[in-house]
Amino acid sequence: MKSDRFVRRTRIAAPAAEVFRWHSRPGALERLTPPWEPVEVLERTGGLEDGSRVVLGVRIGPFRLRWVAEHRDYTESRQFRDVQVFGPFACWEHTHRVEPDGPDACFLEDDIAYALPFGSLGHWFGGSWVRKKLDPMFTYRHRVTTQDIETQMAYGPNPPQHVLVTGASGFVGSALVPFLTTGGHRVTRLVRSAPHPHHDEIGWEPAAARLDASQLEGLDAVVHLAGDNIAAGRWNAAKKARIRDSRVQGTRLLCDTLAQLDRPPKVLVCASAIGYYGSRGEAWLCEDSAAGTDFLADVCQAWEAAAETARQRGIRVVHLRFGVILSPAGGALANMLVPFKLGAGGVIGNGQQYMSWIALDDVVGATYHALMTDTLHGPVNVVSPQPVTNREYTRVLGRVLRRPTLAPLPAFATRLAFGEMAEALFLASARVEPAQLINSGYVFRYPELATTLQHLLGKSAADRVAQSCN
């Protein structure tokens, strides 16, 4: 059997025991999965100890396969090994090692020995393909591990928090919850479906104003992300009512309930959006800028006002005004990838409208910053400090994907295709600066668009060199 080996080693400025604990906590696999390589956890038994198993649903080319891995050779705070029991490889042994480098640093090493099926023939045809998959994957994994641990350590040795999260299964929540749990925090999900008996969940019905206040006593913090997807379906009167009601009614119910508690949480971090400002051309906008006058601006104003009862109760309230969140796992970037990869991408309208974007990793980081920074309150713009025009965004995405961008979508065609939503989501211009984040000391992981897209799309160093030469 022809075997290969892949090794990735990174120094992390954190104690070995802390890095190992990070890997042992719930959410580590979700944080380590690159957004361009979706992996579904189908079944999990145990933790990292010998005999524990995980069953994954993975995609290899057009095929969806089950991959069963068993943990072996567990050594506390030092290593564990994943061995394929069933899956696409002839054999696969992945050893995770954490080696101390003094008391305050360590080396994280992933050492993989693998063999492809069909012996030398499989190695000949698939060997280079596998290595091209592993290299960006483990570049991403080590970068996220390092950044997450350094972010969590930057806020000091605070005791673990008990955080209630609404919208936990959504675009932002599905990234935030694993970040919190790998940091040692307890997360309870507020869900509209029936709570799972073996999960940390509480049920609520915002439309019917049902929420049991007794179940919320003793929380340290709340992150409120729930709201109807504004980009799902064409806007009409019923859709616009759902957009507004899902935000305003849910926020009002949650905040009125928190205000009744004997022991309310110290902080409520509530989602909002830069739609608050409306379309403002080239003008720079900060948290003190006036509100716009269109539908989304009205929604955002009512959304933020619905938290007033929590503020009056003495809860520190932070409104995170999200910009365009970038990740291939969802949102605007996910919808753009197929046409851009096919060479059918291009500017929208005249391309001069400003796009205030933010990497999903910085959304997670900014949310954590809001939770842990006692001086932060009120509106906070969650956007990169470097907004770009639609034309510049199109150029950079095309360059990262190495595809032409010669298929523009004129404004009239955008309006014809998307109706009223086109004006708000594609043609509006908002040049927003994250003044509150910067002034409160937040350090962006990805302030610049090209490096953000390279990180999110798994582009290797060789890809970046090739792009810089074009």
Q: Which helix (H) or strand (E) holds 205?
A: none
Stretch among 101-110, 255-264, 459-468 having the lowest mean pLDDT? 459-468
Q: Is the pTM of this model over 0.85?
A: yes
Which parts of 13-120 are beta strand (E)?
A: 40-45, 53-60, 63-75, 79-86, 91-100, 106-115
Q: Using alpha carbons only, what angle is made at residue 29 by residues 446 and 114, rounded to the nearest 5 degrees? A: 105
Helices (H), 306-347: 308-312, 331-341
Inform me whether the pLDDT recorded for 121 exceeds 90: no
Within a 13 Å sphere around the CA of 117, how many CA atoms are in the beta-carbon half?
4
Stretch among 68-72, 126-130, 288-292 having the lowest mean pLDDT? 126-130
C-beta of residue 277 within 8 angstroms of C-beta of residue 301: no
* Cα(174)–Cα(181) distance, integer angstroms: 11
* Cα(227)–Cα(402) distance, integer angstroms: 35
Q: What CA dihedral angle connects 303, 221, 225 and 238, to 10 degrees?
A: -50
> 3-state DSSP helix/strand/coil percent for the chain, to nearest 5?
40, 25, 35
* Cα(446)–Cα(454) distance, integer angstroms: 10
User: pLDDT per residue over 155-181, tens digit each?
Assistant: 988 899 999 999 999 999 999 999 999
Stretch among 71-80, 100-109, 121-130, 255-264 having the lowest mean pLDDT? 121-130
pLDDT averaged over the chain? Answer: 92
Within a 13 Å sphere around the CA of 63, how many CA atoms are in the beta-carbon half?
6
User: pLDDT per residue over 209-256, tens digit each?
Assistant: 999 999 999 999 999 999 998 988 889 999 999 999 999 999 999 999
C-beta of residue 434 within 8 angstroms of C-beta of residue 383: yes
pLDDT at 345: 92
User: pLDDT per residue over 361-391, tens digit each?
Assistant: 999 999 999 999 999 999 999 999 999 999 9
Quick one: pLDDT band at residue 265, thresholds 50, 70, 90? very high
Burial 100-129 (b: 16+ CB within 10 A, else e): eeeeeebebbbbbebbbeeeeebbeebbee
Q: Which helix (H) or strand (E) holds 466?
A: helix 461-468
CA nearest to 365, candidates 105, 161, 167, 172: 172
* Cα(14)–Cα(157) distance, integer angstroms: 13
Amino acid in the structure at residue 427:
L
Q: What CA dihedral angle connects 282, 283, 287 and 289, to 10 degrees?
A: -140
Residue percentage of the chain with pLDDT more than 70: 97
pLDDT at 233: 82
Looking at the chain, the number of H-run helices and the number of E-run strands are 15, 20
Q: Which domains does the chain have, with CATH numbers?
A: 3-154 (3.30.530.20), 162-468 (3.40.50.720)
